[in-house]
Amino acid sequence: MENPSNADTAAAAAENGANTAQEVSSTTQPVEPTKRSLRVQTWKKIQEGKVGIGFNNIFNRIPAFVDADKAAALLIQEEEFKKAEHIKVNIDRALHDFKEQALLADKSVYLPSTRDSSALCLKVDVPADATEEQKKEALRVQDILKFRTEIGLESKLKLDLVVIGSVVVSREGYRIGRGNGFADLDIGLLIELGAITPDTVIATIVHDLQVVDTLPLDLFQKYDTPVDIIVTPTEVIRVAKRLPRPNGVFWEILSERRLKILPVLQQLKEQEEKSGKTIVLKSEDTDVEQHQNNRRRRGPLRRRFQRGNPGRTTSQTDNEQQGENTQKRAPRRKGRFVNRRRRTTKSEGDQSAVEGGAKSEDRKFDEGGAGERRQTKKKNRGPRDFCVKLTNLTRDIRVKDLKSELRKRECNPMSIAWKGHFGKCFLYFGNRNGTPSTQDDVDKVLKSLNDLSLTITTGGEPAPAVTAVAEGDVVKSEPAESAEPAQTKTINVHVELIKFGTKKSGGAANAGAVEEGNDVDESALNGAEPATVEAGDVSASRIESVDTTTV
């Protein structure tokens, strides 16, 4: 009789046809599961199931999940919790709700000590008459000197319940953490000092997606910590047969560097050696608890939004189990789209201020793909011979109003420096063929600007239509009314002539050519009044325009 599962597999393969043949290679071999592969598989299930909390709080850590408060509510209803007086809880985010419930139930709650501390653990101390909000605040405080008491190695602490986090856990009681080994080392240290006894219950709080039926037994070593109770938001799983726990700290698998990270281990080692015990550490330092990234981070968002796989966490068990089956990772693919925008050089700084508002169409690339910006042709402008300053401009006037009036008067300046926010404007004139302007040209411009006035219209913008609902659900729209009545204003503009000519030097007038772009005083940039230069009394003052617009 044919196995139904095999028949379904064969039917699916026949349906896919050539696609299956392309995806499956002849050299594909089944890869034995490792702790790392099981972690990644579980993290992906949590991410795809959308039960994790936080975009970056899933991979490479004990994941926080939704309905963790429901799992905590189930655990506090168990007899092990009700009988317990001293409870130690890890600092994982998924266990925060249980810590609050344990503190509100007047239990003695203990937290792991900091890495640079020589204490065994930290006890949460709150006043006896503290309110619920004060007790919750005591758990959120980061300062260990506030609401915390250090428990040393010499204390005779006996824990009744220990709650730890997990990444993967089986119904048989086997547990896989996030991979750095600190949770197993903490349990071994508590067992070594007698804080965890055979009567102590070890529980874990996980999501239902983190629970599997079985796990490969060859993945677990003598230092791995099993659990007795598994609590999920929907059920409480009791392990039928308690698995063997670690006997204590296994010094032969620890390196000198790990002892420097955890001073409490160094202190315990010194006490053991004083009592006559010989301790031999691991000679080769392969006890790497975290992937080291030597690249400099530019900011907190760099790691959050970087492309590729998230930075992995490596443990000692991963290094031992991968062995020859480890497959070399493919190099990260380079970015498909490269930013070819070239930075503005120092020599281009003067022109960048004028061309800063250019659209992206000006950034062309050559056919060879070199990515250099196409050089734009400079406008062929002749030297500026004289300038006309317009004042008494109001903020209601726009440069387009001035341009329209100048066209009517047949006045065509070479460029306009608009400074309407300062109530003034500069018109620059000169012959485009390069010949100097004559007095007749100046008189012609002044004649065209005689009695210059600008007429502008303000207000008159319609207000949005008002919709009224009458009885019987009949919708009526009232006609739009203008917010402000239209007003027409005529503004008289003051005209002032500014000439550029010779430059006095030692009492003798020498003819000097005025360079293009440098004939405006720097004080005009700050809104100050430029110097007025009369004919025959020309000074060295110049005006520089930044926002130039050709009429």
Percent residues over pLDDT 90 in the chain: 34
Judged against a pLDDT cut of 60, whether residue 512 lies above it is answered with: no
- Whether the CA torsion 294, 295, 300, 301 is positive or negative: it is negative
- The predicted structure's pLDDT at residue 70: 95
- Compute CA distances 423 → 7, 33, 418, 432, 547, whole Å: 87, 77, 9, 28, 15
Domains and CATH numbers, the chain: 68-249 (3.40.50.10420), 386-458+490-496 (3.30.70.330)
If you count them, how many residues does the chain have? Answer: 551
Q: Is 331 helix (H, G, I), strand (E, B) or coil?
A: coil
Structure confidence by residue, pLDDT tens digits, 71-89: 999 999 999 999 999 999 9
Region 510-519: mean pLDDT is 37
Residue that the structure tokens 């109770």 belong to: 229
pLDDT band at 540 (very low <50, low <70, confident <90, very high): very low
User: Would you give the DSSP letter of residue 283?
Assistant: S
- The predicted structure's pLDDT at residue 549: 38
- The predicted structure's pLDDT at residue 423: 87
Count of C-beta atoms within a 10 Å radius of residue 467: 9
Count of C-beta atoms within a 10 Å radius of residue 419: 18
Cross-strand partners of 303 = none
Judged against a pLDDT cut of 80, whether residue 149 lies above it is answered with: yes
Per-residue 3-state assignment (H helix, E strand, C coil) for 518-536 = CCCCHHHHHCCCCCCCECC
Judged against a pLDDT cut of 50, whether residue 225 lies above it is answered with: yes
Per-residue 3-state assignment (H helix, E strand, C coil) for 298-323 = CCHHHHHCCCCCCCCCCCHHHHHHHH
User: Would you give the DSSP letter of residue 503?
Assistant: E
More confident residue, 447 or 12: 447
- The predicted structure's pLDDT at residue 73: 95
- The predicted structure's pLDDT at residue 545: 36
Burial of 188 (0-12, 13-18, 19+ CB in 10 A): buried
Choice among 129-133, 313-317, 375-379 with the minimum mean pLDDT: 313-317
- The predicted structure's pLDDT at residue 139: 84
Residue that the structure tokens 């409480």 belong to: 236
How far is residue 227 CA from its own chain's centroid?
Answer: 37
- CA–CA dist 16, 8 (Å, integer): 12
Select, from the ranges 41-50, 304-313, 375-384, the one with the highest average predicted confidence (pLDDT). Answer: 41-50
Percent residues over pLDDT 70 in the chain: 62
Region 112-121: mean pLDDT is 87
Structure confidence by residue, pLDDT tens digits, 297-346: 444 544 444 444 444 444 444 444 444 444 555 556 555 555 555 555 54
pTM: 0.51
More confident residue, 322 or 49: 49
Cα torsion for 97, 101, 107, 112, to the nearest 10°?
A: 10
- CA–CA dist 134, 30 (Å, integer): 55
- Compute CA distances 438 → 433, 500, 535, whole Å: 13, 12, 12
Judged against a pLDDT cut of 50, whether residue 524 lies above it is answered with: no
DSSP 254-272: --HHHHHH-HHHHHHHHHH
More confident residue, 435 or 153: 153
Burial annotation 291-318 (CB, 10 A radius, 16+ → b, else e): eeeeeeeeeeeeeeeeeeeeeebbbbbb
- The predicted structure's pLDDT at residue 463: 53
- The two three-digit tokens of residue 119, written as one number: 């204490």
- Whether the CA torsion 516, 519, 523, 528 is positive or negative: it is negative
**CA nearest 517: which of 500, 534, 531?**
500
DSSP 412-425: --SEEEEEGGGTEE
